[in-house]
Amino acid sequence: MDLDSLIEKICNSKETYSLETLNKISNQVISILIQENNVLELEDPIRIVGDVHGQFYDLMGVFNGDKNIEKPFKTLGHSKYLFLGDYIDRGNYGIKTITLLLLLKIKFPHDIFLLRGNHETRAINKEYGFYEECLNFFQQESQSWKIFNNIFDHLPIVAIVNNYYFCVHAGISPNLTLFDIKRINRFVETPITGTFSNLIWSDPEENIDFWKESKRGSGLLYGKIAAENFLEVTGLKMIIRSHQLVESGTKITNNTTITIWSAPNYCYTSNNRAKIIKIGKKGLTYIEVLPSHEDKGHNNHFNQNY
């Protein structure tokens, strides 16, 4: 499999690729992912990316702020990238988005890290657009959707950066320790309740101290004391997560949790800003992701609760 040619094809054309090629991508990337632990241990320099939701041209902006794809991925080799999940659904280019990230993971296995989000589950991505996109892209071949979801079953759950930041798609769970996360069998469809579910569904809440049921139907709301207790038990200092649209691209809740959102003009209608986090020797800074002008399409699978 010619990685460079495939990456160029994904970046520069609207061509499809075959189910046979997808199988080859799957085999190669799973052989890498299966060697990674549930909890990744990473160090700076690193850039942390929140939800991108199939907005492919905005993903290119994550890698290249000037949108110059003639020399793509110029930062790779100088900085690692940690993506917090939700690569698909809502946007018009979920397959291009996840395929590019998988190819980059194969080419740069020590520079690209992909965590699992709540949309990397069959129950959600069959309903919110990705299943239909797979059928259209692969000429009504549903096997493609099954292959992608099998890959999603292999994605790690959490990353610890600099032994300081707890990075996860959504949030935390009651009485949670890092040992609990390491014991999870992640190679399955995510359950609708329990620790694994809470990690990809929970949200911080300013108006409570401990825990509260979430209106999402999965996960929990966690308050200031719950987050402080978790950080004290683990010896970590800050939670970094995505999962919720924030208009400015970032939000700090209870001085314990940073929410980062990386899909500008979400669903091509929200007019929100988007950012990524850069962690280096000088600490944490924010980089803005400018919205692409190449795609102003509209996707009707919008539901902020998911």
The reported pTM is: 0.94
Phi, psi dihedral angles at 202 (to 5 degrees): -75, 160
Q: pLDDT truncated to tens, each residue of the chain (306 aa)?
A: 899 999 999 988 778 899 999 999 999 999 999 999 999 999 999 999 999 999 999 999 898 754 444 456 777 877 899 999 999 999 999 999 999 999 999 999 999 999 999 999 999 999 999 999 999 999 888 999 999 999 999 999 999 999 999 999 999 999 999 999 999 999 999 999 999 999 999 999 999 999 999 999 999 999 999 999 999 999 999 999 999 999 999 999 999 999 999 999 999 999 999 999 999 998 999 999 988 866 554 444 444 455
213 CB-near residues (< 8 Å, 6+ apart): 220, 221
Cα gap 143→150, rounded to integer Å: 11
Cα gap 129→131, rounded to integer Å: 6
Per annotation, catalytic residue among 119, 154, 169, 301: 119
For the domain covering 39-288, report its CATH number.
Answer: 3.60.21.10
Q: Which two tokens stand for residue 95?
A: 């397959």
119 is catalytic: yes
